[in-house]
Amino acid sequence: QVQLVESGGGLVQAGGSLRLSCAASGLTFSSYAMGWFRQTPGKEREFVAAISRGGFSTDYADSVKGRFAISRDNAKNTVYLQMNSLKPEDTAVYYCAANLDLPAVAADHYDHWGQGTQVTVSS
């Protein structure tokens, strides 16, 4: 059974940093591109960042470019999202997702999802 478990969320002041982790099990992690998405109440899930299977290719939403960094450790079956210079508009539930293909922006390209971790940025 595939499991993706996010951790590292919490409450932080504007300008602060958080590092999210997503531990994967039940799949061949290195065969999957990984993505981070976020969602706020009443809105659709929004693409944040994605990384290729080997970690050599990344993609970011314009809203987080230069502030967030996605990385992965295939030996640990874990993908990370380093979030710096956080803004109140970054407040959301953050989800990691696995895609048995190339990194993708569209949520419906992803095969497996975690349960999410709450990130709250206070002003």
Q: Is the pLDDT of residue 40 over 90?
A: yes
Mean pLDDT computed over every residue of the chain: 97
Q: Is the pLDDT of residue 98 over 90?
A: yes
Three-class DSSP category at 107: helix
Q: Is the pLDDT of residue 101 over 90?
A: no
| pLDDT, average across residues 95-113 | 93
Q: Is the pLDDT of residue 102 over 90?
A: no
Q: Is the pLDDT of residue 29 over 90?
A: yes
What pLDDT is attached to residue 6? 98
Q: What are phi and psi of 21, to 5 degrees?
A: -125, 150
- Where residue 65 falls among pLDDT bands split at 50, 70, 90? very high
- Where residue 99 falls among pLDDT bands split at 50, 70, 90? very high
Q: Work out whether the CA dihedral 52, 106, 22, 90 comes out positive or negative.
A: positive
Scored b (16 or more CB within 10 A) or e, 79-108 reads bbbebeebeeebbbbbbbbbbeeebbeebe
